Amino acid sequence: MSYASNTPRRTYRFRPFRWALGLAIGLVLPGCLKSEDTDLQKRIKDDDDQIQKYFKDLSVGVDKDNLGLYFSVLEANPDGQLAQANDILSIYYVVSPLNGPVFDSLTVRDGPPLKLKLLANALVPVGLDRGLSRMREGEKYRFFIPSALAYGKYQYSAAFPEYTNLVVDAEVVRIETEAEQQAVETRAIRQHLAAHQLDDVDSLDAGLFYQRIREGQGSLPQAGQQVRLNYVGKYLNGTVFDENTAGSFGFVIGGKKVIAGFEEGVMRMRKGEKGRIFIPSHLAYGATLQVIPQRIREDLIRQEQIENEDRIPPFSVLVFEVELLDIS
pLDDT of residue 57: 74
Average pLDDT of the chain, as a whole number: 90
Q: Which residues contact 71 (CB under 8 A, 6 or more apart)?
A: 62, 63, 64, 65, 131, 134, 141, 142, 143, 144
For residue 24, the model assigns a pLDDT of: 46
Say how far apart CA 288 and CA 117 lie, in whole Å: 8
Alpha carbon distance 16, 21 (integer Å): 9
**Percentage above 70 pLDDT, the chain:** 89
Q: How far apart are CA 293 and CA 96, in angstroms?
A: 9
pTM score of the predicted model = 0.89
Angle between helices 15-28 and 38-58 (to 10 degrees): 80
pLDDT surpasses 70 at 13: no
Summarised one tens digit per residue, pLDDT across range 26-47 is: 444 444 445 446 777 888 899 9
Using the predicted structure, report yes or no on whether residue 8 has a pLDDT greater than 60.
no
State residue 67's pLDDT score.
87
* Arithmetic mean of pLDDT, 198-213: 92
- CA–centroid distance for 92 within its chain: 15
Ordered structural domains, the chain, with CATH:
15-176 (3.10.50.40), 179-327 (3.10.50.40)
pLDDT tens for 104-156 read: 999 999 999 999 999 998 999 999 999 999 999 999 999 999 998 999 989 99
pLDDT tens string 220-273: 999 999 999 999 999 999 999 999 999 999 999 999 999 999 999 999 999 999
Amino acid at 30: P
Dihedral in degrees, nearest 10, Cα atoms 261, 263, 265, 270: 180
Residue 92 CB neighbours (<10 A): 20
First to last CA, the chain: 24
**Residue 261 pLDDT:** 97
Q: Is the pLDDT of residue 4 over 90?
A: no
Residue 165 phi, psi (nearest 5): -85, 130
pLDDT in the model for residue 37: 61
Arithmetic mean of pLDDT, 76-91: 97
| Whether 90 contacts 135, CB under 8 Å | no
**Residue-by-residue DSSP string for 131-151:** HHTT-BTT-EEEEEE-GGGTT
Nearest-10 Cα torsion for 232, 234, 236, 237: -120
Tell me the pLDDT tens digit for each residue of 158-203: 999 999 999 999 999 999 999 999 999 999 999 999 999 998 899 9
